[in-house]
Amino acid sequence: MQFINGKDSLVVDALDGLLRSSGGANLARLDGYPAIKVVLRTDHKHGRVAVVAGGGSGHEPAHASFVGKGMLTAAVCGEVFASPSVDAVFAAIMAVTGKGGCLVIIKNYTGDRLNFGLAVERARALGKKVEVVIVKDDIAMPDVLQPRGIAGVMLVEKVAGHYAERGADLRTVAAMTQKAADAVVSLGLSLSSCTLPGIGREDRVPDGKAELGLGIHGEPGVDLVNFEGARQAALVLLDRLFAAARPARSYALLVNNLGSTTALEMSLLANEVLASPRGAKIKLVLGPAILVSSLDMHGFSLSLLPLTPDFEKALLSPASPLVWPTVRTHVKPKLVKLPRETKNKRVKASRNSTLSALVSRACDILVAAEAKLNALDARVGDGDTGSTVAAAARNLKTGLPLMPLARLDRFFAATSELLSRSMGGSSGVLLAIFFSAASQSASEGASWQEALSAGLAKMMAHGGARPGDRTMIDAIAPALQALPAGLDAAAAAARAGADATARMKQARAGRSSHVPASNLNGIPDPGAEAIAILLAGLSKG
């Protein structure tokens, strides 16, 4: 399902939404919906060159969101993945072309070339000065006579917008834009196709594979390649781009999101490109950002433009359309030294065979319970309780030989530090608080049982949960109360507490508090279950 009213009204509804939310950004649309879908500047000076671009919708924010000072004068929008009509393109040209003339930028697809081309000829026949630049940046098929125009069009449009805004004549604007179009190269890779409005998605990309050299209209890539991770994907594209690009001292790079790739993934991909040996030659970076998308395609593309002083000035010049990420210089990450207080204090290791054996046994129990706890958490949370606990247990067991086992207060403190580093989520912090408070209490002379009780009190104070709130505390609290009677009694109390959480109708703390009560019924809290499993295993041992 998709958030649309219907295929027929999707584009016009979206364009009106864009204008309604533009905040008075000197934008308007030409009358003539639905056949004519044109967004244009209201502040364009007709003595200057107008820059018109466009094509099928589905590539948002391109091109309507790039109408504005320093970029496009008008964008002509077709239906999803369909070229706009000749009448729409002609109307756009006539609406914005004055004495300065008009530059029309066309992505190299047959429909766009024909419809935009005929509209240009009609305008010329009426005495309008119109020049055309066709963008052919896709290098997926190097031997094809008519390469496609893909995301590199954004760099070309920025160059055109710069020269038009500074008042250059049509011949200069067209010449500089043509130079950029001739120089830019692009290539894309995706892990999925896109979802066509009202139709659905064609799941043609198998697990472990990626499409290389795909277009921006949902068409298949030229090759289905093994997917071996982000680094391999980024470097494959980068190597091919540099092989195809003109030699230069430095380059501008566009890192484009094809639609549904997360910001986290895009930043990782940008890092792989810029940190690579070839990344040293990249001076300017645009993105990572969604600029020329293919609806919700899970993929990305890279575009490379060899830099000249003129191109560099054009890319760095101000532009203020609705969407335009700042072009930035490529810099290495700066490092600031950690404050002295945050550095881990080295504590001299000491031996305690009994405690070492107990902790080692506890770690083994939790690691063995990983799958069970994950399965339980998948029903009431995000399915990672077992993995989180097991990761902490593995780290604790590995670190045992380096820990101060002879003094309980120091052992508790070391455990707190280790858990805060290795155990993710709120449970890791809560247990780190638990052992930190226990350490403080033990250092003041409390017995180990009293120290653990003090840890529980601080854990509840900071975490806000109490017995009955459906958390791990429902197992920890009764276990500590029963502990003076022995480990078997503590294990039985923890089990009873964990089982009781399955009958609690609502969680008042933790991730399960956001889960409907109907989903919790009969399922124990994963944290409480982990405590019950741990103590049961220790009592048997």
Q: Quick one: 526 and 414 in the same domain?
A: yes
Q: How many domains is the chain partitioned into structurally?
A: 2
Instruction: Please give the average per-residue pLDDT across 28-34, as a whole number.
Output: 92
Residue 104, classed as helix, strand or coil, is strand
Burial class (CB in 10 A: 0-12, 13-18, 19+), 421: middle
Domain for residue 338, yes or no?
no
Instruction: Please give the average per-residue pLDDT across 84-103, as a whole number.
Output: 97
Domain for residue 450, yes or no?
yes
Q: What is the pTM (predicted TM-score) of this model?
A: 0.75
pLDDT the model gives residue 270: 97
CATH of the domain at 261: 3.40.50.10440
Q: Quick one: 315 and 398 in the same domain?
A: no
- Residue-wise pLDDT for 114-137, tens only, equals 999 999 999 999 999 999 999 999
CATH of the domain at 418: 1.25.40.340
Q: Quick one: 273 and 381 in the same domain?
A: no
Domain for residue 2, yes or no?
no
| Spatial CA neighbour of 466 closest among 495, 424, 504, 438 | 504
pLDDT at 515 over 60: no
pLDDT at 105 over 90: yes
Q: Quick one: 363 and 495 in the same domain?
A: yes
At 322, the pLDDT band (50, 70, 90 cuts) reads: very high
Q: Which of 44, 59, 63, 217 is catalytic?
A: 217
pLDDT at 252 over 80: yes
Termini Cα distance of the chain: 53
pLDDT the model gives residue 519: 60
Domain that holds residue 476: 350-540
pLDDT the model gives residue 159: 98
Residue 374 has which token pair? 């994950």
Domain for residue 335, yes or no?
no
Task: Kindly report the backbone phi and psi dihedral angles of residue 210, in degrees, each rounded to the nearest multiple of 5, phi listed first.
Answer: -145, 150
Domain for residue 344, yes or no?
no
Give Cα separations from 3 to 10, 14, 33, 492 (angstroms): 10, 11, 21, 52
Q: Quick one: 324 and 381 in the same domain?
A: no
Task: Kindly report the backbone phi and psi dihedral angles of residue 5, in degrees, each rounded to the nearest multiple of 5, phi listed first.
Answer: -90, -35
Q: Quick one: 208 and 243 in the same domain?
A: yes
Q: Quick one: 66 and 174 in the same domain?
A: yes
Q: Quick one: 273 and 305 in the same domain?
A: yes
The type of residue at 528 is: A
pLDDT the model gives residue 421: 82
Question: Does 162 participate in catalysis according to the annotation?
Answer: no
Q: Which residue has the higher pLDDT, 163 or 222?
A: 163
Domain for residue 342, yes or no?
no
Buried b (16+ CB within 10 A) or exposed e, 200-227: eeeeebeeeebbbbbbbbbeebeeeeeb
Instruction: For the chain, give the percent of residues with pLDDT over 90.
Output: 76
Strand-pairing partners, residue 144, are none
Q: Quick one: 311 and 216 in the same domain?
A: yes
pLDDT at 463 over 70: yes
